[in-house]
Structure 1
Amino acid sequence: MSRTIALLTDFGLDDPYVGQMKGILAAKAPNSKIIDVSHGVEPFCISQGSFFLAAALKHFPSNTVFVAVVDPGVGSGRRIIGIELGGHTILAPDNGIIELAEANSCGSMIVTDLSETPCSITCSSTFHGRDIFAPLAAELACGASLGSLGPKLPLRDVVRTGLKKPLWMEHGVEAVVLHSDRFGNLVLNIPDSQIMPERMSMPERTVASELDCLSPRGAEARAGCVRRVSCYAELQSGAVGLIAGSQGFYELALYQGSVSDKLGYKAGDSIRLNWSV
């Protein structure tokens, strides 16, 4: 029986790219169920793709093959890797997209270097999602093992960017925005297991860091209080709150409003929270 295949990309749905990947999968693994995690990752934004992948893993059937293609280095010398993690197999460029999934997993991770597989020799230099990742996913879904497709890669050689680690300071923390959802909530890279103060403040002016998104921009916010709450309804109108969200991370939010619009942040930006108000 073929394995489930889950697709995560920054391709969007306006172009034929996702359809072409699915066409390859339908031809080579016709009995596999194909599920879209998302194709709405901001272009080239590895931090957001890493969050989407980490948030999705535990909700899929055991032994799912994930294809995570957010690949600004496509066609370059970056590696293509296969990862065995948490009962799943993940195919991805070796650019840090696996980092949050690795950090959130309790088990061990085994990585295979797939850069020299036969399909990587005759393919376009701009669309490895269709020409390499989809055929590899089909092979795995139909019974091939990662070990038959390439050599093991030492874990120390896997690319990591430090995304999983907020910068803790004496009187605050600098966090990364992993995602701004359609409601305007800002998901931060602070795990919800971390104990946070009941009240914090944001500096009058915060400049976003570049991280791994293509076109980062600065963000300005008025100085103000941030209150830790347990649900959106505890917030007064216009007040910014910090909530342990449903995806395993804290998020900044407004009640029935967009904190992303209010503060001007997006995926990949950095945010400073101070303990003193």
Structure 2
Amino acid sequence: MSRTIALLTDFGLDDPYVGQMKGVLATHAQDSRIIDVSHGVEPFCISQGAFFLAAAMEHFPEDTVFITVVDPGVGSARRIIGAEFGSRTVIAPDNGIIELAEDKFGGTMIVTDLSEAAAKIHSSATFHGRDIFAPIAADIACGTSLESLGPKMPLRDIVRTGINKPVWKPDGVDATILHRDRFGNLVLNIPDHQHMPERMSIPEEQLLSGNDASCVRRVSCYAELESGATGLIAGSQGYYELALNRGAASEMLGLEPGDTLTLSWNAQCPVD
């Protein structure tokens, strides 16, 4: 049986693009299971796509082929690569979208330049997901080796956009918001294995004007938070998140993906 194929794009579901990719895959890899990771990545948002990929990979079968198409450089001279993480393979544009996966699964990544193989495929200038990524992924899922499709690349040559990492300071940490989910929870770039204090604060000047929710309490679940209180929770995606109990932290705090904030250890917060 062919390998599982997982799709991650910024295409949305209003247009025929996802369906066309699945049609190509069904034609060329008829025995493969095709699973959607998400098609709701914000258009052109490489950092959000990188987060979705890194968060999803370990929950798929070990031999899954991921097609990751968040590709603002489509049609240009940007490379197409195949990144191996153990027996998992990611087919992606070389634009930094594998950066968080590289951090999370460090030491295992091997990268093949698929650009020459891609150049031999007749394609439109604007839809490489359907015309190039899907056929290559289908071939790999059906047994074609990456070695037969192109040369290995030195890891130093891979594009890295500098997706922010936490900046640790003696009295706190500067974090970046990677994602806002549909509940308004704000996923930070702080891995959930990092120890965090029980109480922190966000400087008021970094919050929505007039907001008084600067105190942050580390909790283990949403229900531990009182109404309107901000919590820091080790979420389900491998990173800490700012959250409210039955509320939207993004609206309460006035913060969005891409924003940076400081969590200070010198928290001037009331003690229970």
- Same fold, TM exceeding 0.5? yes
- Kept in 2: contact 1:96–1:161 (CA 8 A): yes
Q: 3-state SS of the aligned residue for 2:115? A: coil
- Kept in 2: contact 1:192–1:245 (CA 8 A): yes
- Tell me which residue corresponds to 2:100: 100
- Kept in 1: contact 2:121–2:131 (CA 8 A): no
Which one-letter code corresponds to 2:117 in the other structure?
T
For each residue in 1:41-67, what CA deviation from the matched residue of structure 2 results, as whole angstroms up to 9, or x when unmatched? 111111111111111111111211000
- Kept in 2: contact 1:3–1:65 (CA 8 A): yes
- Kept in 2: contact 1:81–1:93 (CA 8 A): yes
- Tell me which residue corresponds to 2:231: 241
- Kept in 2: contact 1:48–1:268 (CA 8 A): no
Once the two structures are superposed, the pairs formed by residues 10-89 of structure 1 within 5 Å of their partners are 10-89=10-89
Once the two structures are superposed, the pairs formed by residues 1-277 of structure 1 within 5 Å of their partners are 1-105=1-105, 107-118=107-118, 122-163=122-163, 165-206=165-206, 222=211, 224-277=214-267
- Kept in 1: contact 2:121–2:132 (CA 8 A): no
Which one-letter code corresponds to 1:184 in the other structure?
G
Q: 3-state SS of the aligned residue for 2:116? A: coil
Deviation of 1:164 (Å): 5.7
Q: 3-state SS of the aligned residue for 1:161? A: coil
Which one-letter code corresponds to 1:222 in the other structure?
N
Q: Distance in 1 between matches of 2:107 and 2:148?
A: 22
Q: Distance in 1 between matches of 2:106 and 2:39?
A: 27
Q: 3-state SS of the aligned residue for 1:250? A: strand
- Tell me which residue corresponds to 1:214: none
Instruction: After superposing the two structures, state which structure 1 stretch, 258-267 or 20-29, moved more.
Output: 258-267
TM-score for both structures, normalised by structure 1: 0.91
Q: Distance in 2 between matches of 1:27 and 1:45?
A: 30
How many residue pairs are counted as aligned between the two chains? 266
Q: Distance in 1 between matches of 2:262 and 2:78?
A: 32
Q: Distance in 2 between matches of 1:36 and 1:237?
A: 35
Runs of 4+ in 1 over 4 A off after TM superposition: 118-121
Q: Where does structure 1 lack aligned partners over 5 or more consecutive residues?
A: 208-218
% of aligned pairs identical?
70
Q: Where does structure 2 lack aligned partners over 5 or more consecutive residues?
A: 268-272
- Tell me which residue corresponds to 1:216: none
Cα-Cα RMSD: 1.7
TM-score for both structures, normalised by structure 2: 0.93
Q: Comparing both chains, which one has the higher relative contact order based on Cα–Cα distances under 8 Å and sequence gaps of 6 or more?
A: 1
Deviation of 1:272 (Å): 2.0
Which one-letter code corresponds to 2:235 in the other structure?
G
Change in CA separation of 1:93 and 1:225 when aligned onto 2, cut-off 3 Å:
same
